[in-house]
């Protein structure tokens, strides 16, 4: 009974194969596993009654490009090549081929091996038909460097895309429904042929071609520039102006004259005006007018017509005395500054006009060479500005200036921060005195000369702080110091009462400093655990706040922290990257002023 059942099953499978044209799973062609080097063998798979046929790879795995499976038809024409790429493929059908005879040839090179291949099925039932061709193929443009063709796709249900060739070279596949193709970069007055074949959803290609030839537009006629002007010359001899005249060309397409003075474009002079005047010149100076003509089409004559003329001299004038030299301060007091200088040697020098912070103070007579200001505040910067005046009242318009700073009060806390050569991160842990809080005050001129770059981060991009920008607690910046140099920053905390500092932090990366409370015992701002320093931004409402803190290894301890990991200490005067999962939120510091 068992044998009869097996026989019935076998007969049923055979009937299915006959009806569908699909050979049941069997070994139709198989290589050794693994295959040896320099292997060469062939297998023939046929179905005499078929008009088209495809094969099924149960699996193939080839080692290198030199290992290949080739498929040939009965006329020994190559249908397909599968080259080795080291990847294992399973359950792969070949394309449909219009043949009932396929010869499978497998060859391997002398380098490496792999599993090989196994073909276990063939399919030769009525193959899908190719879709119909496109219709109404024609161009819709007439441009110099491009052509656009359009067409109507076939209505075949199995139509998938149009294969487009230009002048015999494949260009692209145009998906069903697009029905257009444009080519750019062509030359004017050239003919180009588009050739198309349609492809179906099964990969079957309609072997019929639908072609169309179109020609690009020619280049427009070459325009000719107008002639140049003639008889260009000046008609004036003034101290501060020159007037030139000329004769326009007779060219019918002439529109205007392009006028340049000393190599700089000035204006376009419309046809018929034939003159140009320049004002505001200096006496006894030479100036060259250069001209080109332009046509009504915009075409410019590349030839230049130029002329040089000189302004008239002016009568002798009085000369102001030279400026003072070696202006500098010689004191460092809390409430006063004394400057000295060297008077000029000009015979007509009479006195020095002195301004302080932009306000006139006094005239200092020749020979005194010093000025003192009283009643200043400690730790404040002041600028003296000077001009020299002559015996005739003529003033030298050049300024000679110098900035100096008063010394801090004895009870003022002065913090010194040292930045070493290379990159540093810098911040202040406390609110600074208002008149000592700018970059130019924290870093005096002698220190600024050692700084190469200062970079701030606004949450989205870098910026370069200016000398007038304030240095504020909880904000940090990158400072690059010249190699081998040391920069000293001077921080003077505010003497006015202030609440702990606050700043806004946004979602994403924030560059910040910390503001621990001042420790009177150690007379310093101590380092503190980062989770305490950032406690106010641990959560944003009910959402998580900061999750990453990074201390760059730039003249400070380098480490990185992720939420839940080892907690590091953060230090005053340094800077840190803090990533916020959500925001905005407000970071609060712990320092207050005044410091006692």
Tokens 């060259």: give the residue: 288
DSSP structure class, residue 589: -
Question: Tens of pLDDT along 82-98?
Answer: 999 999 999 999 999 98
DSSP structure class, residue 536: G
Question: Tens of pLDDT along 103-122?
Answer: 999 999 998 889 999 999 99
Structure tokens, 247: 């004769």
Instruction: Write out the DSSP string of 404-449.
Output: EEPPPPTT---EEEEE-SEEEEEE-SSPBPGGG-BHHHHS-HHHHT
**Dihedral of the alpha carbons of 293, 296, 300, 306, in degrees to the nearest 10:** 10
Tokens 């006028």: give the residue: 259
Question: Tens of pLDDT along 5-49?
Answer: 333 333 333 333 333 445 456 899 999 999 999 999 999 999 987
Distance, in Å, from the CA atom of 440 to the CA atom of 66, rounded to the nearest integer, reads: 71
Distance, in Å, from the CA atom of 37 to the CA atom of 591, rounded to the nearest integer, reads: 78
Distance, in Å, from the CA atom of 180 to the CA atom of 193, rounded to the nearest integer, reads: 14
**Cα Rg of the chain (Å, integer):** 44
Q: Are 432 and 474 a contacting pair, CB within 8 Å?
A: no
Neighbours of 287 (CB within 10 A): 17
Tokens 């291949």: give the residue: 117
**pLDDT (0 to 100) of residue 21:** 47
Q: Which residues contact 432 (CB under 8 A, 6 or more apart)?
A: 442, 470, 471, 491, 492, 493, 494
Q: Which residues contact 502 (CB under 8 A, 6 or more apart)?
A: 474, 586, 587, 588, 589
Q: What residues pair up with 174 in beta bridges, in sequence order? A: 162
Burial string for 514-532 (b: 16+ CB within 10 Å, else e) reads bbbbbeeeeeebebbebee
**pLDDT (0 to 100) of residue 358:** 95
Element containing residue 512 per DSSP (H, E) = strand 508-512
Tokens 């050794």: give the residue: 32
Q: 11: exposed, middle or buried (C-beta count within 10 Å: 0-12, 13-18, 19+)?
A: exposed
Return the CATH fold of 135-215: Immunoglobulin-like (2.60.40)
Beta strands 569-570 and 543-544 are unpaired
Question: Tens of pLDDT along 283-310?
Answer: 999 999 999 999 998 899 999 999 999 9
Tell me whether the CATH fold assigned to 135-215 matches the one assigned to 325-405.
yes
Q: 16: exposed, middle or buried (C-beta count within 10 Å: 0-12, 13-18, 19+)?
A: exposed
The CATH class of the 2-123 domain is mainly beta
Element containing residue 571 per DSSP (H, E) = none
How far is C-alpha 484 from the chain's CA centre?
33
Distance, in Å, from the CA atom of 83 to the CA atom of 89, rounded to the nearest integer, reads: 12
Distance, in Å, from the CA atom of 95 to the CA atom of 467, rounded to the nearest integer, reads: 73
**pLDDT (0 to 100) of residue 202:** 82
> Could you say which residues of the chain have pLDDT below 70?
1-25, 125-128, 316, 410-412
Structure tokens, 306: 């130029």
Return the CATH fold of 230-310: Immunoglobulin-like (2.60.40)
**Cis before 594 (ω within 30):** yes
Distance, in Å, from the CA atom of 210 to the CA atom of 194, rounded to the nearest integer, reads: 8
Q: Classify the C-alpha dihedral 192-195-201-202 as positive or negative.
A: negative
Name the H helices within 449-578: 530-533
Q: Are 229 and 244 a contacting pair, CB within 8 Å?
A: no
Residue 243 DSSP SS3: strand
**pLDDT (0 to 100) of residue 495:** 84
Give the residue from 450, 427, 446 showing the smallest Cα distance to 437: 427
Which stretches does DSSP call E strand in 314-379? Answer: 325-329, 337-342, 349-356, 359-365, 370-373
Q: Are 48 and 100 a contacting pair, CB within 8 Å?
A: yes
**pLDDT (0 to 100) of residue 445:** 84
CATH architecture classification, 325-405 = Sandwich (2.60)
**pLDDT (0 to 100) of residue 25:** 63
The ranges assigned to domains in the chain are 2-123, 135-215, 230-310, 325-405, 415-588
pTM here is: 0.39
């Amino acid at each position: 009974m068992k044998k009869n059942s097996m026989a019935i099953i076998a007969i049923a499978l055979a009937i299915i194969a006959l009806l569908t044209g699909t050979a049941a799973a069997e070994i139709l062609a198989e290589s050794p596993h693994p295959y040896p080097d320099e292997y060469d063998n062939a297998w023939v798979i046929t179905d005499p009654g078929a008009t088209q046929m495809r094969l099924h790879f149960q699996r193939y795995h080839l080692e290198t490009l030199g290992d290949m499976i080739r498929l040939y038809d009965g006329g020994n024409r190559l249908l397909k090549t599968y080259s080795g790429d080291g990847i294992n493929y399973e359950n792969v059908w070949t394309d449909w081929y219009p043949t009932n005879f396929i010869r499978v040839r497998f060859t391997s090179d002398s380098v490496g091996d792999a599993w090989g291949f196994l073909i276990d099925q063939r399919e030769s039932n009525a193959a899908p038909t190719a879709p119909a061709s496109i219709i109404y193929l024609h161009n819709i443009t007439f441009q110099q460097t491009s052509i656009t063709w359009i067409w109507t796709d076939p209505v075949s249900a199995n139509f998938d895309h149009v294969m487009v060739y230009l002048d015999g070279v494949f260009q692209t596949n145009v998906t069903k429904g697009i029905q257009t193709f444009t080519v750019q970069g062509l030359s004017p007055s050239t003919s180009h042929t588009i050739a198309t074949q349609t492809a179906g959803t099964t990969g079957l290609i309609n072997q019929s071609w639908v072609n169309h030839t179109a020609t690009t537009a020619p280049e427009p006629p070459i325009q000719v520039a107008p002639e140049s002007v003639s008889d260009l010359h000046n008609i004036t001899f003034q101290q501060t102006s020159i007037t030139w005249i000329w004769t326009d060309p007779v060219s019918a397409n002439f529109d205007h004259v392009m006028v340049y003075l000393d190599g700089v474009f000035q204006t376009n002079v419309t046809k018929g005006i034939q003159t140009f005047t320049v004002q505001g010149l200096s006496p006894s100076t030479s100036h060259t007018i250069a001209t080109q003509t332009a046509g009504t089409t915009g075409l410019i004559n590349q030839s230049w017509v130029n002329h040089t003329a000189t302004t008239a001299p002016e009568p002798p004038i009085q000369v102001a005395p030279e400026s003072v030299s070696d202006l500098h301060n010689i004191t460092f007091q809390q409430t006063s500054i004394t400057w000295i200088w060297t008077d000029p040697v000009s015979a007509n020098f009479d006195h020095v006009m002195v301004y302080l912070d932009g306000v006139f103070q006094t005239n200092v007579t020749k020979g005194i060479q010093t000025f003192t200001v009283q009643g200043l505040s400690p730790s404040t910067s002041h600028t003296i500005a000077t001009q020299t005046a002559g015996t005739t009242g003529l003033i030298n318009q050049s300024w000679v200036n110098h900035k100096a700073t008063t010394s801090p009060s004895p009870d003022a806390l002065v913090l010194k921060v040292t930045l070493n050569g290379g990159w540093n991160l810098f911040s202040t842990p406390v609110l600074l005195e208002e008149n000592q809080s700018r970059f130019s005050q924290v870093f005096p001129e002698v220190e600024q000369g050692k700084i190469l770059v200062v970079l701030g981060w606004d949450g989205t991009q870098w910026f370069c702080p200016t000398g007038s920008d304030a240095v504020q607690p909880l904000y940090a910046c990158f400072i690059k110091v010249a190699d081998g140099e040391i920069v000293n920053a001077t921080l003077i905390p505010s003497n006015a009462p202030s609440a702990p500092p606050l700043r806004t932090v946004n979602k994403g990366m924030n560059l910040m400093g910390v503001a621990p409370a001042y420790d009177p015992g150690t007379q310093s701002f101590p380092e503190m655990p980062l989770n305490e320093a950032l406690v106010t931004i641990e959560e944003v409402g009910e959402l998580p706040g900061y999750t990453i803190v990074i201390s760059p290894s730039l003249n400070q301890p380098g480490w990185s922290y992720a939420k839940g990991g080892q907690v590091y200490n953060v230090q005053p005067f340094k800077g840190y990257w803090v990533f916020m999962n959500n925001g905005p939120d407000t970071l609060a510091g712990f320092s207050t002023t005044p410091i006692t």
